[in-house]
Structure 1
């Protein structure tokens, strides 16, 4: 790891008082959770379309079985990267974490200001009445009820209207933050940030990938990610292609906070 680059990033973080962090699957791989697009990722096990709204409607049982096996990790624990972000938030450095991850590890680590842009795998909701179910409850329903994915708390003539959908944003889907108000809130956070820190995402999936471009002119962008991103060669951008845990540990030690 280049010493000069580390020193520069340490200085940028030290002087910052309002860091917005964007995280992707790469921060959770160090907790044993598979990413999506690497050679050992989830998409090597099954086609991407399985995580689509259309597939969910056509094959709800198969969708849930895939999700339970590949997306739900109740025993996963936060790694050192998550814990350092919690420390930086507590110290007043990090103002918000905007994550693509659905695993809830940022909250498990103790972070308070977390936006789960792609939702959460911890709960599911009836598309008709809005009744919420825990994922543990959905696992139990799968084992005991034939049409476990249909809500019986309400009633309609069309069962599909009562499908219980995991609270994750699928392809062809929209989520809580996919609204004018949601986008405006996020873009405001980035606009007032004095540093944007990207961890473990290739920044290739829209609209999440567009967020760094909304930072103010001259505001530094620090990217810690094993692979390349579309922003790597931009001005005021500092790229470290190393382990997130290892890099954040080194930065935290040099910060001395």
Structure 2
């Protein structure tokens, strides 16, 4: 890793007071969680369709079995990358984390201002009344009830209307951040940033991939990702093609010296 690149990026971070961080699967893989599209990713076990809203309604039992086995990681622990981001937030440098991840590890590490753009696998909600269930409850229901995915707190008699869906954004689905209000809040947050830090994402899945376009030209973009992104050659952009834990540790060390 080029030392002058680390020095440049650490200087940018040191002078920043409103860093917005965009994170993808790459930061979670360093905690032992599989990504989706690599050669060892989740989609090697099943096609993307299994995580669609259509498949959820069609085969709720099979959907839940796959989701719990592959997307639910209650014992996954934060890695050094998560911990450094949480520390930088406490120090007043990082203002927000916008993540594609649904594992909740940023919060486990102590980060407070986390926007879970694709939702969370920690909870599930009735599609009719909105009653909330923890995923642990859903696991217990699956083991004890035939129609565990049907909310028993609703008055409507139509079972399909009261299916309990994990609070993640599926294909063909929308989440609270996909609303005009939610999207505009994220864009405003990025526009206000004085440094944009991208970690562990190829920035090729829309609409998340569009977010760096909304930073000010004067706002530096630091990308730490093993693999290319569409923004690597952009103006005022600095690319570190290394692991997140190693890179953030070096940057943090430079901040302390």
The answer to whether the Cα contact below 8 Å between 1:155 and 1:162 also exists between their aligned partners in 2 is no
| d(CA) in 2 for partners of 1:102, 1:55 | 19
The answer to whether the Cα contact below 8 Å between 1:14 and 1:255 also exists between their aligned partners in 2 is yes
1:157 is aligned to: 157
2:34 is aligned to: 34
| d(CA) in 1 for partners of 2:49, 2:200 | 23
Q: 2:30 aligns to what SS in structure 1? A: helix
| d(CA) in 1 for partners of 2:12, 2:26 | 22
| d(CA) in 1 for partners of 2:244, 2:77 | 16
Unaligned runs of 5+ in 1: none
| d(CA) in 2 for partners of 1:158, 1:170 | 22
1:117 is aligned to: 117
Equivalenced residue count is 257
1:79 is aligned to: 79
| d(CA) in 2 for partners of 1:50, 1:231 | 31
Q: How does 1:68-217 map to 2 (within 5 A)?
A: 68-217=68-217
| d(CA) in 1 for partners of 2:59, 2:236 | 46
- Tell me how far 1:112 sits from its aligned partner: 0.5
Unaligned runs of 5+ in 2: none
1:105-159 deviation digits (Å, cap 9, x = unpaired): 0000000100000000000000011100000000000011001100111132321
| d(CA) in 1 for partners of 2:228, 2:30 | 19
1:243 is aligned to: 243
| d(CA) in 2 for partners of 1:50, 1:233 | 35
1:218 is aligned to: 218
Q: 2:125 aligns to what SS in structure 1? A: strand
| d(CA) in 2 for partners of 1:48, 1:109 | 30
Q: 1:248 aligns to what SS in structure 2? A: helix
Q: 1:197 aligns to what SS in structure 2? A: strand
| d(CA) in 2 for partners of 1:60, 1:229 | 35
Q: How does 1:43-62 map to 2 (within 5 A)?
A: 43-62=43-62
Q: 1:28 aligns to what SS in structure 2? A: helix
- Tell me how far 1:3 sits from its aligned partner: 1.2
- Tell me how far 1:218 sits from its aligned partner: 2.2
Q: Which moved more, 1:99-108 or 1:2-11?
A: 2-11
* TM-score normalised by L of structure 1: 0.99
The answer to whether the Cα contact below 8 Å between 1:96 and 1:115 also exists between their aligned partners in 2 is yes
| d(CA) in 1 for partners of 2:155, 2:39 | 44
The runs of at least 4 consecutive aligned structure 1 residues that moved more than 6 Å come to none
* TM-score normalised by L of structure 2: 0.99
Q: 2:178 aligns to what SS in structure 1? A: coil
Q: 1:155 aligns to what SS in structure 2? A: coil
Q: CA RMSD in A?
A: 0.8
Q: 1:31 aligns to what SS in structure 2? A: coil
